[in-house]
Amino acid sequence: MADTGMLNAAAAVTQPLRGTLAAGPRGPKPKNKFSRSNIIIYGTLFVVALYYALPLYVMIVTSLKGLPEIRMGNIFAPPLEVTFQPWVKAWQEACTGINCDGLSRGFWNSVRILIPSVILSVAIASVNGYALSMWKFKGSEVFFTILMIGAFIPYQVMLYPIVILLREAGLYGSLTGLVLVHVAFGMPINTLLFRNYFASIPEELFKAARVDGAGFWAIFFKIILPMSLPICVVALIIQVTGIWNDFLFGVTYISSPDRYPMTVQLNNIVNSVQGVKEYNVNMAATLLTGLVPLVIYFASGKLFVRGIAAGAVKG
Amino acid sequence: MSGVTLKNTIKKYGDIQVVHGIDLEVEHGEFCVFVGPSGCGKSTLLRMIAGLEETTAGQINIGARDVTRLDPSDRGVAMVFQTYALYPHMTVQDNMGFGLKMNGHPKAEIAAKVAEASRILKLDEYLSRKPAALSGGQRQRVSIGRAIVRGPEVFLFDEPLSNLDAELRVEMRVEIARLHKEIGATMIYVTHDQVEAMTLADKIVVLRKGVIEQVGAPMDLYRDPDNKFVAGFIGSPAMNFMAGEIANGTVAVPGMKAHFDLGVTSHSGPVTVGMRAEHLVVDADGDTHTVDLTESLGGVSYVYLLGDTGERIVIEERGDQRSRLGDRVGITIDANRVYLFDAKTEARIRT
């Protein structure tokens, strides 16, 4: 029976018409599950997965061990005696310079930077994108191009000029200044994101709303935003991870260790040269710092709602 | 009173002019259809009336008001789009009430008007559904309902039936005609389908390349077209055209081996001769054409003829005797049914 497909395929080559008319089964023979190619594919995937998962495993395991156990050197071995002491210490006792109140201070600093930055940048970028895609004005394309060029200028070039700008504005070293920097740097990519998404919304919807008497803000809040949940979630993820993981701006524009964001503080804890290297505390601190982006990834997956625009126009 | 008056309206995109100084008067309560091939500017003109496209020059009046520079929502118009343009996240009810809500009408009034519109359009059982859960015809009805609820002076339809299948299109066409009778408001309707234009319109405006070719009642355009374009565009199947020559008031048509003594004194030289399919008669004794194809629709047949001069002709046949494929035939016509057009300017030569 398996030969029928082969025969038809051969016939299709020599006699295309008859090949398509023949009603027999066609296409390649189904492969069995343990074929050589399957073993290679899944084998490769397994190795790659292991490659990425192993460091995480080592970190988790190490963070749950006591120092004596770590000194035994079996980094892959599960902990003989599980202890959460390193986590507690990383959170509230680890020292950076003269402060010994752990990562908690950095965490709350980061939260205070993150929340206003994300809200401001998503809010402004969405209005930008809306105006640039639906209310085109003279020079809107030029404006957009300038904004896009901003995305390609290396951060290093702008570091010092921004220091001067912030100093002149009296914001250097403050959390407010850092928030403004994050909002500005998030603008090009997020505006692009929103503009392109809004451009895919049928123009007639916008026109119908205008005939219905809705103005700039009414159309934005009542028509456009309710249809834009997926892109808002994407922008949210990009901004939260980007701002939370930022190190460069945090270390440049914050002048006092009291106000350092979590990433900078983590670096200071891990790279501290005094005393014993507490690997377990370092691992716990690193995991704690990475927790927020991780939670965002896992939680927001469900928010990607598709097909919201289905049924708006013909179909 | 809420007629629509266009005075020398012009639309330019940059340097390209697409609507060339249109003058038009649509009376109060009239059903006016803009028709023409794609790219003729009919949709642009409609959007200019709606206020969705800026008018480059000229004036647009609705009733006695000059609305040329007004916002769409201040013009007292409602628009129905080809793609329905329903708000996907709102229920049918909210979709229809959105316009009134935006203009700050009280809730009770909105509910009453939505209920009234849904009664007219038989949408009662769908009021709490979202557009995604409706069929194409239902969506277009909601879209029309949204227009009705606003109680506009002028309804604007932008090819509202183009996305529906043939059967539904006929049904909705009847429904729109009924709606016009029931509401009695001024309606302007854009379509490229001359059947829709013929069946719905009180007044047809034939457009080509941003210029009005002719304005008139459907049957007037059909019986008395001003030029070859209108003659060819209005009517299905399209009018047949053959080359002819006027000499001494008599029109010679070589393709038919015929002469028509029409007493044309104003013209001489080459002309285009137009003849409608239903006016032509197959002459079994003639020998100028070969039957190339026949389409039998039952009551009528369309006979496609290929002339010896290479000109193609469509004739409508009724009755029991029908032509068959490959027959050699001739064609005749009552001389009063012949239309003449200037071969160069394509303008009608009236006799």
The per-residue pLDDT for A165 is 92
Q: Tell me the shortest Cα–Cα distance from A116 to chain B, in angstroms.
A: 29
In this prediction, residue A302 has a pLDDT band, given cuts at 50, 70 and 90, of low
Residues of chain A with C-beta less than 8 angstroms from the C-beta of B160: none
Residues of chain B with C-beta less than 8 angstroms from the C-beta of A207: 47, 50, 52, 72, 79, 81, 85
The per-residue pLDDT for A255 is 84
Do A67 and A188 share a domain, yes or no? no
Question: Do B75 and B50 form a contact (C-beta atoms < 8 A)?
Answer: yes
The per-residue pLDDT for A14 is 43
Is A91 domain-assigned?
no
Residue among A209, A311, A313 whose CB faces B130 most closely: A311
Do A124 and A239 share a domain, yes or no? yes
pLDDT at A170 over 70: yes
Question: Do B99 and B179 form a contact (C-beta atoms < 8 A)?
Answer: no
Residues of chain B with C-beta less than 8 angstroms from the C-beta of A307: 132
Q: Do B77 and A211 touch (CB under 8 A)?
A: yes
Do A78 and A163 share a domain, yes or no? no
Q: What's the mean pLDDT when you consider all of chain A?
A: 83
Angle (CA) B81 B83 B87, round 5°? 85
Is A171 domain-assigned?
yes
Q: % helix / strand / coil in chain B, to the nearest 5?
A: 30, 35, 35
Is A225 domain-assigned?
yes
**What is the helix (H) or strand (E) element at residue B57, kind and residue range?**
strand B57-62
Do A154 and A69 share a domain, yes or no? no
Residue among A207, A308, A313 whose CB faces B89 most closely: A308
Question: Do A204 and B83 form a contact (C-beta atoms < 8 A)?
Answer: yes
pLDDT tens for residues B278-322? Answer: 999 888 888 889 999 999 888 899 999 998 888 899 999 988 888
The CATH number of the domain holding residue A271 is: 1.10.3720.10
Number of Cβ pairs < 8 A linking chain A and chain B: 89
**What is the helix (H) or strand (E) element at residue B177, kind and residue range?**
helix B166-183
Do A17 and A162 share a domain, yes or no? no
Do A71 and A152 share a domain, yes or no? no
Do A6 and A67 share a domain, yes or no? no
Question: Do B160 and B144 form a contact (C-beta atoms < 8 A)?
Answer: yes
The per-residue pLDDT for A307 is 36
Pick the CATH number of B240-349 from 3.90.1150.10, 2.40.50.140, 2.40.10.10, 2.30.30.280: 2.40.50.140
DSSP letter for each residue of A263-307: HHHHHHHHT--SS---HHHHHHHHHHHHHHHHHHHHHHGGG----
Q: Tell me the shortest Cα–Cα distance from B26 to chain A, in angstroms.
A: 20
Find the domain containing A128 and state its range: 104-303
Do A113 and A49 share a domain, yes or no? no
Q: Which residues of chain B have pLDDT under 50?
A: none
Cβ atoms < 10 Å from Cβ of A37: 8
Averaged pLDDT for residues A5-14: 43
> ipTM score here?
0.80
To the nearest 10 degrees (0 to 180), the angle between helices B166-183 and B107-121 is 130
Do A78 and A193 share a domain, yes or no? no
Domain range list for chain B: 4-233, 240-349
Work out the burial of residue A41: count CB atoms within 10 Å of its CB; fewer than 13 is exposed, 13-18 middle, 19 or more buried. Answer: exposed
Is A314 domain-assigned?
no
Whole-prediction pTM: 0.77
Is A88 domain-assigned?
no
Do A147 and A8 share a domain, yes or no? no
The per-residue pLDDT for B266 is 81
Local structure of B138: helix, strand or coil:
helix
Q: Which residues have a Cβ under 8 Å from the Cβ of A116 and sit 6 or more positions away? A: A179
- Which residue intervals of chain A are DSSP H helices? 2-14, 16-21, 36-63, 67-71, 85-92, 104-134, 140-152, 155-169, 175-199, 203-211, 216-218, 229-245, 248-253, 262-270, 279-300
**What is the helix (H) or strand (E) element at residue A246, kind and residue range?**
none
DSSP letter for each residue of B216-271: E-HHHHHHS-SBHHHHHHSSSSPPEEEEEEEETTEEEEGGGTEEEE----S--EEE
Do A180 and A281 share a domain, yes or no? yes
Local structure of A179: helix, strand or coil:
helix
d(C-alpha B316, C-alpha B295), whole Å: 10
Is A254 domain-assigned?
yes
CATH of domain B4-233: 3.40.50.300
Instruction: Record the tokens describing residue B61, joined without a space.
Output: 């009046």
Is A297 domain-assigned?
yes
Instruction: Record the tokens describing residue B327, joined without a space.
Output: 């027959």
The per-residue pLDDT for B1 is 61
Instruction: Say how many domains are in chain A.
Output: 3
pLDDT tens for residues A138-169? Answer: 888 899 898 888 878 888 888 899 999 999 99
Do A25 and A52 share a domain, yes or no? no
Is A63 domain-assigned?
yes
